[in-house]
Amino acid sequence: MSQNKVFTVLIVDDEPPAREVIRSFLERHSTLKVVGECSNGFEALKAIQEKTPDLLFLDVQMPKVSGLELLEVLDEVPVVIFSTAYDQYALKAFEMSAVDYLLKPYSQERFDKAIEKVLDQLHSGSKTNTKEVIQNRLDASNDFIDRIVVKTGNKMHVIPTGKVRFIEASEDYVMIYGEKSRHLKSQTMRYYENHLDPGNFVRIHRSYIVNVNFVERLEPYDKDTYVAIMTEGQRLKISRTGYRKLKETLNF
């Protein structure tokens, strides 16, 4: 019978007692089998790639890479039950979407309800759109971001925004140029334009957002357009509106 199908579960939380609660609450659910526990996003990425769990228990607040940032870089997002003690932006994001979330501390009853919901999803194969949660979370926050989490192969990197040289549009993706590396990420130029500190980042062209701290000089390109020469030598075209914005930011 399909109702007895066993699904695999991965628990991700940086606090051991919090993982223990989940483990013990799961004892009642024989169709769910824990295949691993991770205490941070880096371990989680590896475990998700190796074990491809059906269900993810995910703490929002973790060191260096938050639960949502982890999901952001996953190619294939499993069904997720989020948990958080208190993160007003995340809460807002959860409320705006159909995903289930647990507020710590929670009861076995509440936990069972969440499990019931996700089992329905797992059986029917109709996952709620977790990407929507992430986008909601991002939109809910008006703060400027201070890091960008990227993935290359099976490794995750955290780039502080201060080290980002520039961001280039690349069809449905953006290419983020860091200190010595570049990373493709599925995100929009518009998002970065709105969430990077405008004192440092300027959209100089449809295809480029630059960190002005890494612009070495401007050179004329043709009659009335310019190119930005970056400290590492790249030459980036500047549109006319881009030049005006750059002028405002740099005060020249």
When the beta carbons of 122 and 164 are compared against another protein, the nearer one is: 164
Give 139-155 as a DSSP string. HH--SPPSEEEEEETTE
The partner residues of 55 in beta bridges, in order of sequence, read: 9, 79
Q: Which of 8, 31, 40, 239 binds another protein (CB under 8 A)?
A: 40
Contact call for residues 232 and 165 (beta carbons, < 8 A) = yes
Contact segment (CB under 8 A) with another protein among 8-16, 47-55, 126-134, 193-201 equals 8-16
Compute CA 121 distance to the chain's CA centroid, rounded to the nearest angstrom: 23
Question: Scanning the structure block, which residue is given the tokens 């190619």?
Answer: 75
Site mask for another protein (CB under 8 A), range 51-70, x = bound:
----------x-xx------
CA separation for the pair 15, 30 (Å, rounded)? 24
Contact segment (CB under 8 A) with another protein among 122-130, 154-162, 182-190, 233-241 equals 154-162
The least CB distance from residue 14 to another protein, in Å, is 7
Per CB under 8 A, does 103 bind another protein? yes
Q: Which of 5, 28, 51, 104 binds another protein (CB under 8 A)?
A: 104
Strands 79-84 vs 100-103: parallel, antiparallel or unpaired: parallel
Q: Which of 33, 117, 131, 147 binds another protein (CB under 8 A)?
A: 147
When the beta carbons of 36 and 239 are compared against another protein, the nearer one is: 36
The least CB distance from residue 39 to another protein, in Å, is 8
3-state secondary structure of 183: strand
- Binding to another protein, residues 116-135 (CB under 8 A): none
Contact call for residues 84 and 61 (beta carbons, < 8 A) = yes
Q: Which of 14, 132, 139, 193 binds another protein (CB under 8 A)?
A: 14
Helix axes 88-96, 130-140, angle to 10 degrees: 130
Per CB under 8 A, does 160 bind another protein? yes
